[in-house]
Structure 1
Amino acid sequence: MCTSGAWAPRVAMNISRKTILVIVSTFIGLVFILAITSDFILLNSFANLENKLLGESIAKLKYEIRESLDDMESCARDYVALVQKGGASEIGTLDTDSLVNHHVDFVAVYNAAGELLSAKSADYHYRRPAGLDDGLVQCLGKTALFAIKGKDRHLKGAIRNGARLHQVVVRPCAGGGVLLVGRNIDREEIAQLSDISEFALEIRQVRDEGLPADFKEALADLGDGASFHAVPLDESHIAGYALFNDINGQPLFIAKLTERRLLYQQGKASITYILAALCVAGFVFCCVMLFFVRETVLKRLGILSATVRQISNDSDISSRLKVTEHNDELDDLALTINGMLDSLERAEVTLREREEQYRILFERAPDSILLLGTEGDESGRIVAANKASAIQHGYTVEELCGMSIHDLNVPESNEASADWMERIFSGQWITFEVWHFRKDGARFPLEVHAGPVKLNGKNYILGFDRDITSRKLAEETDHMYMEQIRQLNTELARQANGLEAANSELEAFNYSVSHDLRGPLTRISGYSQLILEEAALDSQTRSYVTRIYESSCWLNEMIDAMLRLAQLARSEFQPQQVDLSAIVESLSIDFRAAEPERRPEVVIAPGLTVVGDLRLLKILLTNLFSNAWKYTAHSPSPRIEFGALHNGPVPVFFISDTGAGFDMKDVDRLFRVFTRLHDPGQFAGNGIGLATVQRIVNRHGGRIWAEGEPQKGATFYFTLQPDNPSVSRSFAS
Structure 2
Amino acid sequence: MANRNKSDELSFANKELASQNNEKEKWAQELVIANRELDIANKELAFQNEVKEKRAAELVIANRELAFQNEEKEKRAAELVIANKELAFQNKEKEKRAAELVIANKELAFQNEEKEKRAAELVIANRELKHAEDDIRKLNDELEQKVIERTAQLESANKELESFSYSVSHDLRSPIRAINGYAKILEEDYSDKLDSDGKKTLDSIMHNSKKMGQLIDDLLAFSKLGRKQVTVSEINMTDLVRTVIDELLFEDDENTPEFKINVLSPAKGDQSLIKQVLINLISNAIKYSKYKPETYIEIGSDVKDKLVFYYVKDNGAGFDMEYYDKLFGVFQRLHSQEEFEGTGIGLAIVQKIVNRHNGTVWAESVLNEGSCFYFSLPESSFPHNCF
Matched to 1:525, the amino acid is N
Tell me how far 1:646 sits from its aligned partner. 4.4
Alignment counterpart, residue 524 of structure 1, candidates 179, 190, 209: 179
Alignment counterpart, residue 561 of structure 1, candidates 208, 214, 218: 218
Matched to 1:506, the amino acid is L
Matched to 1:494, the amino acid is E
Match of 1:535, SS?
Answer: helix
Which structure has the highest helix share of the two? 2
Tell me how far 1:583 sits from its aligned partner. 1.2
Take 2:302 and 2:174, find their aligned partners in 1: how far apart are those partners? 47
Which residue matches 1:671?
328
Tell me how far 1:685 sits from its aligned partner. 1.5
The question of 1:691 aligning with 2:342 is answered no
Tell me how far 1:592 sits from its aligned partner. 6.3
Matched to 1:575, the amino acid is V
Tell me how far 1:480 sits from its aligned partner. 7.3
Which residue matches 1:637?
294
What does 1:425-444 align with in structure 2 at a 5 Å threshold?
none
What does 1:282-301 align with in structure 2 at a 5 Å threshold?
none
* Alpha carbons 1:592, 1:598 under 8 Å: kept: no
* Alpha carbons 2:282, 2:312 under 8 Å: kept: yes
* Alpha carbons 1:632, 1:657 under 8 Å: kept: yes
Alignment counterpart, residue 206 of structure 2, candidates 549, 556, 560: 549
Deviations 1:641-661 (A, max 9, x none): 111234777442211011222
Tell me how far 1:473 sits from its aligned partner. 11
Q: Taking structure 1 as reference, are residues 622 and 538 closer, same or farther at Cα in structure 2, changes over 3 Å only?
A: same
Matched to 1:707, the amino acid is E
What does 1:64-463 align with in structure 2 at a 5 Å threshold?
none
Which residue matches 1:587?
244
Matched to 1:711, the amino acid is N
Q: Taking structure 1 as reference, are residues 624 and 477 closer, same or farther at Cα in structure 2, changes over 3 Å only?
A: closer
Tell me how far 1:475 sits from its aligned partner. 8.6
Take 1:694 and 1:569, find their aligned partners in 2: how far apart are those partners? 12
| TM-score, reference length from structure 2 | 0.58
Give 5+ residue unaligned stretches, structure 1: 1-469, 726-733
Which residue matches 2:231?
574
Q: Taking structure 1 as reference, are residues 476 and 676 closer, same or farther at Cα in structure 2, changes over 3 Å only?
A: closer
Deviations 1:148-196 (A, max 9, x none): xxxxxxxxxxxxxxxxxxxxxxxxxxxxxxxxxxxxxxxxxxxxxxxxx
Taking only the aligned residue pairs, the percentage that are identical comes to 36
Tell me how far 1:477 sits from its aligned partner. 8.3
Matched to 2:160, the amino acid is E
Take 2:231 and 2:127, find their aligned partners in 1: how far apart are those partners? 50
Deviations 1:69-88 (A, max 9, x none): xxxxxxxxxxxxxxxxxxxx
Matched to 2:310, the amino acid is F
Q: Higher RCO, 1 or 2 (CA under 8 Å, sep at least 6)? A: 2
Which residue matches 2:278?
621
Take 2:251 and 2:279, find their aligned partners in 1: how far apart are those partners? 14
Q: Taking structure 1 as reference, are residues 512 and 588 closer, same or farther at Cα in structure 2, changes over 3 Å only?
A: closer
Tell me how far 1:547 sits from its aligned partner. 1.0
Which residue matches 2:337?
680
Matched to 1:605, the amino acid is N
Tell me how far 1:478 sits from its aligned partner. 6.4
Take 1:519 and 1:530, find their aligned partners in 2: how far apart are those partners? 16
Matched to 1:518, the amino acid is R
Take 1:473 and 1:657, find their aligned partners in 2: how far apart are those partners? 58
* Alpha carbons 2:264, 2:301 under 8 Å: kept: no
The question of 1:496 aligning with 2:151 is answered yes
* Alpha carbons 1:584, 1:625 under 8 Å: kept: no
* Alpha carbons 2:295, 2:315 under 8 Å: kept: yes
Match of 1:603, SS?
Answer: strand
| TM-score, reference length from structure 1 | 0.32
Tell me how far 1:500 sits from its aligned partner. 1.5
Q: Taking structure 1 as reference, are residues 686 and 480 closer, same or farther at Cα in structure 2, changes over 3 Å only?
A: closer
Deviations 1:530-552 (A, max 9, x none): 22224211111121122112111
Which residue matches 1:506?
161
Match of 2:377, SS?
Answer: coil
The number of residues matched between the two structures is 253
Q: Which has the larger radius of gyration?
A: 1
Q: Taking structure 1 as reference, are residues 634 and 675 closer, same or farther at Cα in structure 2, changes over 3 Å only?
A: same
Take 1:491 and 1:711, find their aligned partners in 2: how far apart are those partners? 47
Match of 1:653, SS?
Answer: strand
Which residue matches 2:258?
601
CA-based RMSD of the aligned residues comes to: 3.1
Match of 1:493, SS?
Answer: helix
Tell me how far 1:666 sits from its aligned partner. 2.7
Tell me how far 1:621 sits from its aligned partner. 0.8
Take 1:481 and 1:632, find their aligned partners in 2: how far apart are those partners? 54
